[in-house]
Amino acid sequence: MSNRDYLGEFEHIVILALLRLADRAYGVTVRQEIETRTGREVSIGAIYATLDRLEAKGYVKSQFGEPTPERGGRSKRFFQVTAKGMSAVNRTHRAVQRMIQGLDLVANLS
Amino acid sequence: MKFQASFVQPPSVAAWLVDLFTPQEYAESITGDLLEEFSALASKSGVALARRWYWRQSAKTVVGLIGTGFRAAPWSMVGTVLAGFLLLEYATTLPERAIVAVIHLRNHHVTPFYDSKGLASHLFWLNNGILIGRLLVSLIIGCFVAVAAKGREMVAAMTVGFVSVVITVMIFGVLVAKHQPVDPTFLPTILIHQFAGSCMIVIGGVIVRESRSAMSRRSSGV
């Protein structure tokens, strides 16, 4: 993967949710974090499709937790951002900041 | 590890649909996450609301997973669907050829249908035997396609079914437009047969997917 790759909009949001949740990041918490902070209802399928793509790019890694009764004996899959994922987040932020620089966004909105 | 399901269960059809379309590597996580949120919502806001939420999440998840099935591995999906379609095109004529050959052999060498009973049997096999044979062939091809598209069984089987209907309609349209000797009133019958064939392809996908899920559940003990 080239070091010029930027994160897509939803990839960016999902990675930021993983960073906010730290070691509590799995499907349910990621979905709820995104819903609470963005007010956007997302499906669990969309979260996993994005996490799958990010994992294939090496931006996140996952590991299974213990099976729990409230999940019908199914395990949680915990996700964590890798160093490569952190570089991609920073690269994307820098690109966005460079694009924003010099724009009076508040004035344009009013 | 075995757990007793003592809590409220989510809508079984919705849960089954999610299970059918979820890639196996994420099946446990997605169904577990949905169940966990459903249980929490049911105890907090009531079962009816939780059930509505579950249906909404399931529908969005299934639609999303169908799209992801193509985006995640586009070339292998296109290859599987193309191979399935070509196999279908070749194999759907086999029952007709086999039945006609058997009837031909029987009429000439065993019991010619010079009586009404023989003629009725001849017509029955020509009318129904070929259709039944085609449906069975479609089911088997649906199974083959699903086996080849490991993890995306339903998406591949549904696509082959859809493509076969679309291409049949296109070919029929071209023949009618070119004033070939095709009676346009045959279209509804052809469409019904083709749709039945597509349903059998999808059922083939369901059979393979369910078998794989059952094996996976047995090995993980859920």
> Residue B21: closest CA among chain A residues belongs to which residue?
A45
Q: Which domain holds residue B136?
A: 74-220
Q: How much of chain B, in percent, has pLDDT values that exceed 70?
A: 87
Pairing of strands A74-81, A60-68: antiparallel
| B7 falls within a domain | no
What is the fold, at CATH topology level, of the domain defined by A9-109? Answer: Arc Repressor Mutant, subunit A (1.10.10)
| B108 falls within a domain | yes
| CA neighbor of A94 nearest in space, from A2, A23, A3 | A3
B123 with B184, same domain: the answer is yes
CA dihedral (A108, A6, A3, A63) in degrees, to 10, reads: 140
Cα(A15)–Cα(A81) distance, integer angstroms: 7
Which residues are bridge partners to A74 per DSSP? Answer: A68
| B174 falls within a domain | yes
B72 CB neighbours in chain A (<8 A) are 49, 52-53
Q: What is the pLDDT of residues A26-52, one digit of tens each?
A: 999 999 999 999 998 899 999 998 999
Cα(B220)–Cα(B222) distance, integer angstroms: 6
Prediction pTM value: 0.76
In this model, does residue A2 exceed pLDDT 90? no
Does residue A78 belong to the interface with chain B, where contact is any CB pair within 8 Å? no
Instruction: Choose from B4, B6, B7, B33 for mutation: most chain A CBs within 10 A.
Output: B33
B18 CB neighbours in chain A (<8 A) are 45
Q: Where are the beta strands (DSSP E) in chain B?
A: none
**What residue spans define the domains of chain A?**
9-109
Mean pLDDT of chain B, nearest integer: 83
The count of domains in chain B is 2
B105 with B118, same domain: the answer is yes
Q: So what's the ipTM on this one?
A: 0.86
One-letter amino acid at A66 equals E
Q: What is the pLDDT of residues B6-46, one digit of tens each?
A: 568 899 999 999 988 888 778 889 999 999 999 999 999 99
One-letter amino acid at B99 equals I
Cα(A44)–Cα(A28) distance, integer angstroms: 8
| CA neighbor of B33 nearest in space, from B19, B43, B46, B21 | B19
Q: What is the pLDDT of residues B112-140, one digit of tens each?
A: 556 666 677 777 777 788 888 889 999 99
Query: End of a domain among B72, B99, B121?
Result: B72
> Residue A65: closest CA among chain B residues belongs to which residue?
B29
Does residue A53 belong to the interface with chain B, where contact is any CB pair within 8 Å? yes
Query: End of a domain among B72, B88, B115?
Result: B72
